[in-house]
Amino acid sequence: MDYTLVIMAAGIGSRYGGGVKQLEKVGPGSELIIDYSIHDAIAAGFNKVIFIIRKDIYDDFYEVIGERMEKRFTELGVKWAYAYQSLPEDAPEGRTKPMGTGQAVLSCKGLVDGPFTVINADDYYGREAYRKAFEFMQTCTDPGDYGMVSYIMKNTLSDNGGVTRGICSVDADGNLIGIDETKNIVKTAGGAETEGRALDVNSLVSMNFWMFPPEFMDVLDKGFGEFKAGMADPLKDEYLLPTIVDAELKAGRCTVKVLKTGDKWFGVTYHEDKASVVEAFKELYADKVYDIELYSDIK
């Protein structure tokens, strides 16, 4: 059975100025954030990687990531595949933007045959997150067993603009009660706010690091049709993983184990974020978290 890492790399990157932010070089050897995600997942035990991209960025993606990673996967005995997020044939007239993270993951239907983990391509999650995710996937076999890795909100904000985070409510047993997808969270002198409303910066948030059973693809398939039929704004509404999971949770069709990690998250949302991310990786190398030869610790 495969333990699959699904990497969402199809984002247009509108806040990033229209560039392909997933291809920014941030490591001392010109590594990308995605390089560390793949390394950490393979080190934890994952044996398959699926890249979700748009067809129009395939050439750039293959030149910068795909070609060299396919060679690495072959050396390590890791499987790989590409999935393409595109607008469905029945997309509303005038719609140009993909329909969200739920639609992105749905593009992998038929490519997963076991439990899988979903991440963003432009987020660094830390090595512990992948170890915990792999352990979770090994022990949970029920179709309603979902998991997520959570982070403290204050450790996930950008100094350069607003971000979207799924703010989580968690019970005493570490299970998710609900998730509130909150847009335009900005840092303030006192912490954080959205649209003038103060937020608890110590809240747990989702960073789109999810673990799902293979049956979740059927949930996405059924829900996507319902989403398209009920869109309030056909040009902008998005089919989002936190919203989908929250609906399944409220309907009593799943439980979601919230896994906490002490690792720090960081990512590139805006151009100005890149400098701080580069510095963060320098610190990780100084602390011996990674070797200059990134895969030297994987046999």
Answer yes or no: is pLDDT of 262 > 80: no
pLDDT at position 261 is 85
- Torsions phi, psi for 80 (to 5 deg): -150, 160
pLDDT digits (tens, 9 = 90+) for 230-256: 999 999 999 999 889 989 999 999 999
Q: With contact defined as beta carbons under 8 Å apart, do 39 and 294 qualify?
A: yes
- Residue 111: name the closest of 2, 11, 22, 210 by CA: 2
Residues 6+ apart with CB under 8 A from 279: none
The CA distance from 127 to 43, in Å, is 9
The CA distance from 132 to 80, in Å, is 22
The CA distance from 211 to 255, in Å, is 12
- Per domain, the residue ranges of the chain are 4-286
pLDDT at position 155 is 86
SS3 assignment for the chain: CCCEEEEECCCCCHHHCCCCHHHCECCCCCCEHHHHHHHHHHHHCCCEEEEEECHHHHHHHHHHHHHHHHHHHHHHCCEEEEEECCCCCCCCCCCCCCCCHHHHHHCCCCCCCCCEEEEECCEECCHHHHHHHHHHHHHCCCCCEEEEEEEEHHHCCCCCCCEEEEEEEECCCCEEEEEEEEEEEEEECCEEEECCEEECCCCEEEEEEEEECCCHHHHHHHHHHHHHHCCCCCCCCCCCHHHHHHHHHHCCCCEEEEEECCCCCEECCCHHHHHHHHHHHHHHHHCCCCCCCCCCCCC
The CA distance from 241 to 256, in Å, is 13
The CATH-assigned architecture of domain 4-286 is Alpha-Beta Complex (3.90)
pLDDT band at 20 (very low <50, low <70, confident <90, very high): low
pLDDT at position 11 is 63
Work out whether strand 266-267 and strand 163-170 pair parallel, antiparallel, or are unpaired.
Answer: unpaired
- Torsions phi, psi for 25 (to 5 deg): -90, 125
pLDDT digits (tens, 9 = 90+) for 51-70: 999 988 888 888 889 999 99
pLDDT at position 16 is 39
Answer yes or no: is pLDDT of 34 > 50: yes
pLDDT at position 21 is 56
pLDDT digits (tens, 9 = 90+) for 143-181: 999 999 999 999 888 888 899 898 999 999 999 998 888
Answer yes or no: is pLDDT of 137 > 90: yes
What does the mean pLDDT of the chain come to?
91
